[in-house]
């Protein structure tokens, strides 16, 4: 089954304790990205990646890191989480469109993060 998976789905942690949210897709997509969703602010892009070893900042990158060492994986790293990073996080992926003709984006199931 074609899908985007994220782990963990729920996480409660404390300020300053490093954490990683994993994202994996099995569709051979080049493009992957991370969003956060907050009430009243909608979905905002954190980081994106066009392919292996190619990453760039989105609209709200502060406090986050990413890496793209394999095409299928795009982990989100919070080196020192703070309460303002409490949010619902989504990973997404798609083809770039030049190769497959369809750039429909698929989203993971979301990760609810609470930082106390």
Partner 1 sequence: GIQVEQSPPDLILQEGANSTLRCNFSDSVNNLQWFHQNPWGQLINLFYIPSGTKQNGRLSATTVATERYSLLYISSSQTTDSGVYFCAVPNAGGTSYGKLTFGQGTILTVHP
Which residues lie near partner 1 (CB under 8 A)? 31, 33, 42-43, 45, 48, 58-59, 88, 90, 92, 94-97, 102-107, 109-110, 112
Nearer to partner 1, 16 or 97 (CB): 97
Contact residues for 63 (Cβ-Cβ < 8 A; gap 6+): 78, 79, 80, 81, 82, 85
Question: Residue 79 or 99: which CB sits closer to partner 1?
Answer: 99
Strand ranges across the sheet with 4-7: 4-7, 19-25, 76-78, 65-66
Query: Please, what is the minimum distance in Å from the beta carbon of residue 24 to partner 1?
Result: 17
Minimum CB distance to partner 1 smaller for 17 or for 57: 57
State the minimum distance, in angstroms, from the CB of residue 103 to partner 1: 4
Quickly tell me which residue has 């954490």 as its tokens: 19
> DSSP 3-state assignment of 6?
strand
Q: What is the Cα 47 distance to its own chain's centre?
A: 7
In angstroms, give the least distance from the CB of 44 to partner 1. Answer: 9
Q: How far is the CB of 63 from partner 1 (least distance, A)?
A: 19
């Amino acid at each position: 089954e074609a899908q985007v998976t994220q782990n963990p789905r729920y996480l409660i942690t404390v300020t300053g304790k490093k954490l990683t949210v994993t994202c994996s897709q099995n569709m051979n997509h080049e493009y992957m990205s991370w969003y956060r969703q907050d009430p009243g602010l909608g979905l905002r892009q954190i980081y994106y990646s066009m392919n292996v070893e190619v990453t760039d900042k989105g609209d709200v990158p502060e406090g986050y890191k990413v890496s793209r060492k394999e095409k299928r994986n795009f982990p989100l790293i919070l080196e020192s989480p703070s309460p303002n990073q409490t949010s619902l996080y989504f990973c997404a992926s798609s083809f770039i469109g030049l190769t497959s003709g369809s750039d429909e984006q698929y989203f993971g199931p979301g990760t609810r993060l609470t930082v106390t």
